[in-house]
Amino acid sequence: MINIGVIGYGYWGANLLRNFAESLATRPHVVVDPDPARLEVAQRRYQGVKTATDIHDIIDDPALDAVAIATPVSTHFDLAMTALRAGKHVWLEKPMTETSAQARQLIEEAEKRDLILLVDHTFIYTGAIRKMREIVASGDLGDVYYYDSTRINLGLFQRDVNVICDLAVHDFSILDFLLDEHPVAVTASGTTHFSGVPENLAYVTLFYSSGKIAHVNVNWLAPVKVRQILLGGSKKMIVYDDMAASEKIKVYDSGVKVTTSPQEIYQLLVGYRTGDMWAPKIDTTEALRIASEHFAKCIETGAAPVTDGRLGLRVVEVIEAATTSMHGRGETVQIEARGMKSWSPLSI
C-alpha cells in the first residue's frame, strides 16, 4: 500500500484521488490545493483524507511515499524537483515540463536518488492502445506506413498552453509507445483566433527516417468531438475511434497490391483489396486504475514505469520542435535521433 499526497484538486486531480482511493495498492493521505472551495468538495467526498493549502503538508510528511502532481504545466518542474529532493516518488501529469532541459534535470534527480518518476500519459494505459501495441508488435499490420490522428472538439481554452501541448501530446506519447522509431523532423501549422490566447488549432506532421509519416490534427474550436486514429500498414490497417460506445478498435484486412500489368493509358499501377474487418475485445478497465497500480508496483520493485521520465522527455522534445515549427509557419524542424527504449515484452 503506497501512501500518496496529491497536489492539485482540479478536474484531473479529482480523478487521481478517486483512483488512488479505490485501488487497493494506493492510499491518498493528503490533498493540497490553493482553493479552499475545492478542498471542501474533496473533504465531503473523502472524509478520511487530510486537506491543506501548503504543499509542505505533503513534502514534509514522512508518512508519504509518493507525490502526485496535477497542477498547471508551468509549476511541474519546481514541484516535482522539490518532491524528489524530499525523497518522494513522483507521479507527474503530462506534459512533464515546459522545457526539455527541465525534463532532463528531473530524470537525473530521480535516477540519482533511485526514485520512481512516472509521467501520466494516460492513453498508454487504455485497453485500446495496449491492444494496438499488441497488434503492431505481432507484425500483423506488416510495415507501418502512416499514423493519422484527429482530436477535435469545442474545448475549454487554456491560458498557459497551446492546443499541441494539450491534445497532440497524447499522440506524441502514443507514437512513442507504438513505434520502435523516433521522428527525425516535424512541420506544424497553427493559429489562434483570439488575441492573447495560445494557438487553438494546429496541424502537425512528423517524419521518420524509415519513411513513416504521422499527422495530428488538433482543434479546440470544432463543433463536434472526434477522437480518431488511423494506423495504416502494408497488410492491415487499424481505425481507433475513441468516441465509439463499443468496437473502438477495428482492424481492416484491407490494403494495396502493386500490379504489374503493362502500362497503358488509363492503366493503374496499384490496386486495392478489401477483406474482413475484425473488432477485438478490449479491456475496459479504467486506464487511471491500471496506471495507479503500475505506479505502486514500480515503487515496490524499482522497475522503470512504461511512461517513465525518458518517454516524458521525448514527448516534450517533440512538443518543443512542433511549437518552433508552428511559430515559423511550418518550417521543418529537425529532432535529434536518439535510442528508443528497448521493445521488450510489455508488462504494464
Identify the H or E element spanning 299: helix 287-301
Q: What is the CA radius of gyration of the chain?
A: 21
Residue type, 5: G
| Interatomic CA distance for residues 121 and 186, integer angstroms | 21
**Helix (H/G/I), strand (E/B), else coil: 64:** coil
Nearer to its own copies, 108 or 143 (CB): 143
CB of 243 to its own copies, least distance (A): 6
Residue 166 DSSP symbol: I
Among positions 37, 138, 246, 339, the unique one binding its own copies when judged by CB under 8 A: 246
Which stretch in 88-96, 98-106, 120-128, 243-251 sits in contact with its own copies by CB under 8 A? 243-251
Kindly state whether residue 331 participates in binding its own copies, applying the rule CB under 8 A.
yes
Residue 273 CA: distances (Å) to CA of 10, 235, 268 = 49, 10, 14
| Interatomic CA distance for residues 42 and 13, integer angstroms | 10
Among positions 24, 37, 63, 270, the unique one binding its own copies when judged by CB under 8 A: 270
User: Pick from 249, 250, 271: which is nearest to 126 by CA?
Assistant: 249
Nearer to its own copies, 102 or 200 (CB): 200
Contact set for its own copies, span 90-129 (CB under 8 A): none
CB of 82 to its own copies, least distance (A): 17
Among positions 25, 157, 181, 286, the unique one binding its own copies when judged by CB under 8 A: 157
Contact set for its own copies, span 15-54 (CB under 8 A): 21, 34-35, 44-48
Kindly state whether residue 232 participates in binding its own copies, applying the rule CB under 8 A.
yes
Q: Is the dihedral of CA 89, 92, 96, 99 positive or negative?
A: negative
Q: Contact at 8 Å (CB) between 138 and 50?
A: no
CB of 157 to its own copies, least distance (A): 3
Nearer to its own copies, 129 or 161 (CB): 161
> In sequence order, what are the residues at sequence separation of 6 or more whose Cβ sits closer than 8 angstroms to the Cβ of residue 337?
182, 184, 209
Q: Which residue has the cell 515540463?
A: 97
φ, ψ for residue 142, nearest 5 deg? 75, -150
Among positions 53, 209, 234, 324, the unique one binding its own copies when judged by CB under 8 A: 234
Identify the H or E element spanning 257: strand 255-258
Kindly state whether residue 12 participates in binding its own copies, applying the rule CB under 8 A.
no
Kindly state whether residue 142 participates in binding its own copies, applying the rule CB under 8 A.
no
Contact set for its own copies, span 192-211 (CB under 8 A): 193-194, 196-197, 200-201, 203, 205, 207, 211
Among positions 274, 301, 344, 347, the unique one binding its own copies when judged by CB under 8 A: 274
> What does DSSP say about strands 26-32 and 50-52: parallel, antiparallel, or unpaired?
parallel
Among positions 140, 148, 181, 286, the unique one binding its own copies when judged by CB under 8 A: 148
CB of 280 to its own copies, least distance (A): 5
